[in-house]
């Protein structure tokens, strides 16, 4: 394992936002508002951690809801469907830990390719999971279930997978000018109901290696993981007035 000891002399300062449980639509609007603020140069690189006040599914920016999500089942189970600004497949929220990272491409010490961004930012999550005792295995050589509506059933070489081969994190990217947003869902607690019927296509394994870890411990591990893996210093703050106004404007379309 690489040496991830924090070196204060090399650290850049990131803003840390700890939002806890929030309304589903508000969560998506806030992430997009932060992306716009970072892109406009009025906010620093930002790591945001949050959870969800209700069960919901966020679908990728270009994902077909009619072809990949069972709307009738979602309505029957009172699961809200949201469109997020990033790509990828559908993610079930409500018992997961979600994080977003917004930064300028100039903040990346690696090439700005999609694989490079995933591996760089995903390094913070990997360090956190390993610190919590989760064994990370090599990803599959060939993609599995690439047409599935459920993000966690769709496994590729860029994913973090457990020793069982199960996908641990669902991540997606968005570029807007020089700004980049990554949204990541970490499976935390197992839902009390069977939600496999909400997605069209292959079902994801019901694997939750972090279910014995409490919210505070997981959040703290993620912050430390990003700080050590990316050599940044996270300073807790909150949204600016500009971001709050922008999120309120985006909310009807979230």
Q: Is 74 annotated in the active site?
A: no
Is 178 a domain residue?
yes
Domain of 206, in residue numbers: 12-248
d(CA 213, CA 16): 21
Q: Which of 52, 96, 131 is nearest to 204 (CA)?
A: 96
On whether the pTM is more than 0.75, the answer is yes
Residue 5 pLDDT: 54
Please identify which of the residues 74, 151, 174, 234 carries the catalytic annotation: 151
Per-residue pLDDT 10s for the chain (254 aa) are 444 455 554 579 999 999 999 999 999 999 999 999 999 999 999 999 999 999 999 999 999 999 999 999 999 999 999 999 999 999 999 999 999 999 999 999 877 788 899 999 999 999 999 999 999 988 776 666 667 899 999 888 888 988 888 899 999 999 999 999 999 999 999 998 888 899 998 888 888 999 999 999 999 999 999 999 999 999 999 999 999 999 999 996 54
How many domains does the chain contain in total?
1
Q: Which of 179, 173, 50, 171 is nearest to 103 (CA)?
A: 179
d(CA 80, CA 54): 8
Are the C-beta atoms of residues 169 and 186 closer than 8 Å to each other?
yes
Distances in Å between the Cα of 199 and the Cα atoms of 86, 202, 244, 249 are 19, 8, 33, 30
For 219, the enclosing helix (H) or strand (E) is helix 215-230
Q: Which two tokens stand for residue 180?
A: 């980049």
Q: How many residues does the chain have?
A: 254
Phi, psi at 102, each rounded to 5°: -125, 130
CATH number of the domain within which 89 lies = 3.30.930.10
d(CA 173, CA 134): 24
């Amino acid at each position: 394992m690489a040496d991830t000891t924090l070196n204060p002399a090399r650290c850049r300062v990131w803003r840390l936002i700890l939002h806890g449980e929030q309304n589903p639509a508000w969560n998506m609007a806030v992430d997009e508002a932060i992306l716009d603020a970072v892109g406009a140069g009025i906010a620093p690189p930002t790591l945001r951690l949050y959870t969800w006040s209700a069960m919901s599914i966020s679908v990728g920016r270009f994902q077909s809801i009619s072809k990949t999500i069972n709307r009738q089942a979602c309505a029957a189970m009172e699961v809200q469907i949201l469109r997020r600004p990033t790509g990828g497949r559908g993610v079930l929220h409500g018992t997961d830990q979600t994080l977003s990272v917004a930064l300028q491409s100039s903040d990346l010490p690696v090439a700005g390719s999609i694989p490079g961004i995933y591996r760089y930012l995903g390094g913070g999550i990997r360090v956190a999971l390993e610190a919590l005792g989760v064994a990370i295995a090599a990803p599959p050589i060939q993609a599995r279930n690439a047409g599935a509506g459920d993000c966690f059933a769709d496994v590729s070489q860029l994913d973090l997978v457990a020793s069982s081969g199960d996908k641990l994190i669902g991540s997606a990217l968005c570029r807007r000018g020089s700004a980049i947003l990554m949204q990541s869902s970490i499976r935390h607690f197992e839902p009390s109901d069977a939600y496999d019927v909400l997605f069209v296509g292959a079902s994801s394994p019901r694997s939750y290696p972090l279910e014995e870890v409490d919210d505070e411990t997981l959040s703290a591990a993620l912050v430390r993981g990003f700080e050590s893996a990316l050599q940044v210093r996270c300073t807790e703050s909150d949204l600016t007035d500009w971001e709050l106004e922008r999120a309120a404007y985006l909310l009807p379309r979230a």
